[in-house]
Structure 1
Amino acid sequence: MSNVLILNGNPKSSEKQKSLSHSFADTYEIEARETAQVRRFNLADMVFNPSLEQGYDEIQPLEPCLVEFQESLMWADHIVIVSSTWWGGLPAKMKGLIDRVFIPGVTFKFEGDDPHPVQLMKGKTARILLTMDMPEEFVEDQAAPVLGQLSTFTLEFCGVSPVRTSLFGSVIMSDDSQKAQWLEQVSVLGKKLT
């Protein structure tokens, strides 16, 4: 049985109204639980300092939610990250989670003078689901910086491969029918664990 980690990386609280990211995470989780063990995190519920205060010069103790997330990251065979795209980038708290958790000695390390990292997350796969308000013809352009950062320079840098992506937009201009189609796409991904 596979181990699946799902992160709803939208920092918006779901107490009043669920974000589309939250609905995507719910849908993927429901399907994945049929064939896998699943651990789920909602960024909005995680309380931590998003700033890597000393860079890598000193060890910054992890808050309990980050310890649990980091352990789940290493436990997972498949990582699902659902995030909104704000101003062509990740929400600040989501970027802070990456800075605090993807650290040397845990997700990668360097040996000697070799500039190439030892990838400590090999054997894992990932799916990134990005939502944005850009019209459909612009979603790839808006997503490119996020995918460069999250897919290439974080997950793949640490050894995760393949990293597959799904882009959804424009959320703000979508109607219920469009959202239902997107949720069906996510449901299929959850069933296949891709």
Structure 2
Amino acid sequence: MNILILYAYPNTTGYTHSIMNHVQQGAEQKNTVKIIDLYKENFDPVLVFNETKKRRNMQFDEETAVYREQILWADHIIFIFPIWWGGMPAILKGFIDKVFSKGFAYTYKGNLPVGLLKNKSAWIITTEDAPKWYKTLFQQDYGTVLKKQVLKMSGIKKVKHFSLSSLKNLNDKQRKIFLEKMFEQSSKLTI
């Protein structure tokens, strides 16, 4: 299986980076894995429209062509990112805005969206400092927004979401258990 990891976290010594490493190591046991590390690649999340860059032509944008090719190559896409202020990092939001464009990820048939990235599956792995009860009562979970709005609209309907809340309050044993779970889950990925 071809697995693409979309990773959005700037600290290479942080816990979210450890999650990415464990997922990569587990997935590589039986699969081919590529990683798009948005911070390492200095991805420019700013969307620009002007006389030469039109929204209707985003699916042909040369700047993002390599990312579209990697998404098409992938059978399974894994998003790994922290929840900040109730949302995903701006760099990942910009990536979605620029790459998951009309004509590439979806189109319309009349007024209804039609996903163009069918036959793919995805995981969303998020971390956050807020406790789960706070997230449930007071803020939308951007992992769920990504699952239900972006991926579903793009035709990716088989999506799992792994979320680790209260990260700042977890001890080393609890953190290790989650890392082991991510390794175990990713080592089971096969066609």
* Equivalent pairs, count: 185
State the match for 1:163 in structure 2: 159
Deviation at 1:134, TM superposition (A): 0.9
Unpaired stretches in structure 1, ≥5 consecutive residues? none
Q: 1:35 aligns with which of 6, 30, 35?
A: 30
Report 1:95-114 matches (<5 A): 95-111=93-109, 114=110
Q: 2:112 aligns with which of 112, 116, 120?
A: 116
| TM-score of the pair, normalised by structure 2 | 0.87
CA distance in 1, matches of 2:177, 2:42: 33
Higher mean alpha-carbon deviation, 138-147 vs 122-131, is at: 138-147
Unpaired stretches in structure 2, ≥5 consecutive residues? none
Question: Do residues 182 (structure 1) and 181 (structure 2) align?
Answer: no
| TM-score of the pair, normalised by structure 1 | 0.86
Amino acid at match of 1:120: L
Distance 1:62 1:92, change over 3 A: farther
Q: 2:15 aligns with which of 6, 16, 20?
A: 20
CA distance in 1, matches of 2:159, 2:2: 16
Give 3-state SS (helix, strand or coil) of 1:45's partner: coil
Q: Percent identity?
A: 29
Give 3-state SS (helix, strand or coil) of 2:119's partner: coil
CA distance in 1, matches of 2:185, 2:168: 23
State the match for 1:80 in structure 2: 78
Q: 2:188 aligns with which of 165, 182, 192?
A: 192
State the match for 1:90 in structure 2: 88
What is the aligned-residue RMSD (CA, Å)?
2.1
Question: Structure 1, residues 122-160: CA drift from partner, whole Å, max 9, x if none?
Answer: 111111001000124334457734034311111111000
CA distance in 2, matches of 1:35, 1:143: 37
Distance 1:76 1:35, change over 3 A: same
Give 3-state SS (helix, strand or coil) of 2:84's partner: coil
Distance 1:166 1:9, change over 3 A: same
Q: 1:125 aligns with which of 118, 121, 138?
A: 121
State the match for 2:6 in structure 1: 7
